[in-house]
Structure 1
């Protein structure tokens, strides 16, 4: 069984910093591990430093970048999507989707109108689109 970097980071922080929510953990160009976190009391520079410290073993493999979600908060898990139903989002898919608008495409923006355990539904500019979580490459809130 392979473990994603997201799972690895969450496991390292589960006991060390249980109030920290890992919104996104991904390896980006140049071997940088980008970690986006949230916390009920907000994200401070001290919290980012603490999280970096807890990821000590990973610092041997990656340059680590820890930050707050900002206004264009990433949406990764079903509970993230459910929390923001009614807000504007952008969803980029792994493969182009047919049957939405005039041509197959990978990027959709619109109001998030539904999120269950299997898929998200958007009221996109040119119609309703439902995207299974497995087909989502990246997604985030859009600043309103």
Structure 2
């Protein structure tokens, strides 16, 4: 039986939903002996909203944001307990349904982290205002690598404010305007950049 990542992803989504979580990403690495399935989870939108409400009700304004101004509702909100519970339940389903056939494997479950990858259009909307790194399939203004503040996402086009960070390398030479627009279809990779 071959490994079917689509079935594994659907199963992970189902188990995550039962715990009020969402699967952000799923990675499989390794060969015959050393196989690793990594699952990155976060609280679902309802869970993140509850975290924000809880922080607001405690009245501690400094707890509503991280030191660098990241709003609490943007965080994954996942605890070690969430990861452990999800891993136990998901691991059981993987084994019972024999979705990971063959030799042993390692299941790793964690939050997506501060420098999480951006995949879906909703991610770009949610993280508007954040610093991002973007790599494109084809060059935009003779450059494939961009870093700036995500100032907007509309019509499947993301807008980066390049003046938010000091540009390096080819990007420095490619900057002719302080703003660049990149179609989502041209985004090969994108991720948040932690601000310290």
TM-score by length of 2: 0.57
Unaligned runs of 5+ in 2: 48-76, 168-174
* Counterpart contact for 1:78–1:117, Cα < 8 Å: no
User: What is the Cα deviation at residue 107 of structure 1?
Assistant: 1.6
- Aligned partners of 2:30, 2:146: CA distance in 1, in Å? 25
User: What is the Cα deviation at residue 67 of structure 1?
Assistant: 1.8
Unaligned runs of 5+ in 1: none
Q: Is the aligned partner of 1:37 residue 2:75?
A: no
Which one of the candidate residues 176, 180, 183 is aligned to 1:132?
A: 183
User: What is the Cα deviation at residue 90 of structure 1?
Assistant: 0.8
User: What is the Cα deviation at residue 10 of structure 1?
Assistant: 4.1
Root-mean-square deviation over aligned CA pairs = 2.7
Query: Deviations for 1:109-132, whole angstroms, at most 9, x for unmatched residues?
Result: 100011135222211243322222
Aligned-partner SS, 2:129: coil
Corresponding residue number in structure 2 for 1:141: 192
- Aligned partners of 1:132, 1:77: CA distance in 2, in Å? 13
Q: Is the aligned partner of 1:72 residue 2:123?
A: no
Task: Say which one has the larger Rg.
Answer: 2
* Counterpart contact for 1:37–1:43, Cα < 8 Å: no
* Counterpart contact for 1:27–1:34, Cα < 8 Å: yes
Please say which of residues 49-58 and 69-78 is displaced more in the overlay.
49-58
TM-score by length of 1: 0.74
* Counterpart contact for 2:87–2:107, Cα < 8 Å: no
Corresponding residue number in structure 2 for 1:13: 12
Cα 1:133/1:20, change in 2 over 3 Å:
same
